[in-house]
């Protein structure tokens, strides 16, 4: 098995490269998102320090683009085409499997269906130059620091651990997708109720407040405190509830209490994994929600 060769590279080196690229991708993504979110984020599909799409992208670039590694312009352009296709395909498959969107570029310029955008594609192009001029030589030096026999043992252990991690992450992701769908139904109920009250002065205000409620519910969902979820609703609508008057406000608070009592993604043995996924992908939501956003974005662009 270890001697199997693809495009002149042994299976052993391919697995080493994939784990190395996945780790570098995880390191970059985690640091970038942590800075943007102003909190520590363990980025990636699995719980371990690996971001699989970087590993897969790095391996395919290594196998397919190596003949062009000395032609920087051609390498840059081919990497953009390949990796953009990979990113779009990955987003489409994950939406189809889990009925959720894991990332969204709707707010970025020159995006397509929120799955890919020009900025991300250009970043992948520059990454290809970094890959062949720095990362691959570094990976080869690290691989050469251990004997192949030791390397085989370490890679086997790493692959087994990754497989278990991947299976557990997939189970958690399926649960999250189902629960996000249920939360979307609940939010529709809340929005419909709010529309029947005098708590908002315009459709745009309602949209903005529902967006705030959606984010805040997800942030506290794994705190598992009903009182905290109720505080979220009160914080979002506090000024409007107060303006409604004491008698009417009591009715609104009672109804919101009933609705917010359902605002949880549920309890399960893998709730910690579900929480990690949502923290790793803070913009993750049901495909239904993102289709609505993308439609609104397209309509706004036509105006």
Over the stretch 90-129, which tens digit does the pLDDT of each residue have?
888 877 777 777 777 877 888 887 788 998 899 889 989 9
pLDDT at residue 201 greater than cutoff 70: no
Share of the chain above pLDDT 70, in %: 70
Mean pLDDT, residues 193-210: 70
Task: Round the average pLDDT of the chain to a whole number and report it.
Answer: 78
Q: How far apart are CA 136 and CA 167, in angstroms?
A: 29
- When pLDDT is cut at 50, 70 and 90, the band that residue 223 belongs to is very low
**Does residue 113 come out as left (phi exceeding 0), alpha (psi in the -120 to 50 range) or beta?**
left
Q: Which of 70-79, 147-156, 208-217 has the lowest mean pLDDT?
A: 208-217
The more confidently predicted of residues 218 and 86 is 86
pLDDT tens digit string along 258-303?
Answer: 666 655 544 554 677 777 777 777 667 666 665 665 565 555 554 4
pLDDT at residue 73 greater than cutoff 80: yes
State residue 222's pLDDT score: 43
State residue 162's pLDDT score: 93
Q: How far apart are CA 66 and CA 60, in angstroms?
A: 10
Q: Which of 45-54, 65-74, 253-262 has the lowest mean pLDDT?
A: 253-262
Share of the chain above pLDDT 90, in %: 25
State residue 209's pLDDT score: 72
pLDDT tens digit string along 152-199?
Answer: 999 999 999 999 999 988 888 887 777 777 777 777 777 777 777 766
CB 183 within 8 A of CB 217: yes
Q: How far apart are CA 184 and CA 151, in angstroms?
A: 47
Mean pLDDT, residues 140-149: 92
Tokens linked to 271: 């709730």
Per domain, the residue ranges of the chain are 5-145, 176-298
- When pLDDT is cut at 50, 70 and 90, the band that residue 131 belongs to is very high
State residue 80's pLDDT score: 92
State residue 225's pLDDT score: 43
> Burial letters for 272-302: b for 16+ Cβ neighbours within 10 Å, e otherwise?
ebbbbbbbbbebbbbbebbeebbeeeeeeee
Mean pLDDT, residues 27-44: 85
pLDDT at residue 219 greater than cutoff 90: no
Q: How far apart are CA 126 and CA 109, in angstroms?
A: 19
Q: How far apart are CA 128 and CA 66, in angstroms?
A: 10
Query: How far is C-alpha 144 from the chain's CA centre?
Result: 34
The more confidently predicted of residues 78 and 300 is 78
State residue 294's pLDDT score: 59
């Amino acid at each position: 098995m270890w001697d199997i060769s693809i495009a002149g590279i042994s299976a052993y080196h391919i697995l080493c490269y994939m784990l190395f690229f996945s780790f570098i991708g995880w390191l970059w993504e985690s640091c970038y998102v942590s800075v943007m979110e102003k909190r520590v984020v363990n980025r990636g599909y699995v719980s371990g320090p690996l971001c699989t799409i970087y590993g897969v992208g790095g391996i395919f670039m290594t196998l397919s683009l190596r003949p062009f590694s000395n032609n920087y312009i051609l390498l840059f352009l081919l990497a953009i085409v390949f990796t953009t296709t990979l990113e779009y395909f990955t987003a489409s498959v994950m939406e189809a499997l889990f009925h959720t969107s894991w990332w969204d570029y709707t707010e970025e310029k020159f995006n397509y269906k929120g799955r890919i955008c020009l900025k991300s594609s250009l970043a992948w192009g520059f990454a290809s130059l970094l890959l062949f001029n720095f990362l691959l030589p570094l990976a080869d030096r690290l691989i050469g620091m251990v004997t192949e026999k030791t390397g085989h043992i370490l890679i086997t252990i790493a692959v087994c651990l990754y497989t278990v991690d991947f299976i557990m992450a997939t189970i958690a992701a399926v649960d999250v997708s189902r629960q996000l769908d249920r939360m979307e139904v609940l939010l529709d109920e809340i929005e419909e109720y709010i529309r029947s009250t005098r708590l908002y002065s315009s459709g745009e205000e309602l949209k903005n407040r529902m967006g705030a409620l959606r984010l805040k519910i997800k942030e506290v969902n794994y705190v598992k405190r009903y009182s905290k979820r109720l505080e979220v609703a009160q914080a979002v609508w506090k000024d409007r509830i107060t303006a409604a008057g004491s008698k009417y406000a009591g009715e609104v608070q009672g109804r919101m209490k009933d609705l917010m009592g359902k605002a949880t993604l549920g309890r399960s043995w893998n709730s910690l994994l579900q929480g990690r996924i949502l923290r790793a992908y803070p913009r993750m939501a049901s495909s239904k929600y993102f289709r609505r956003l993308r439609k609104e974005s397209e309509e706004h662009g036509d105006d």
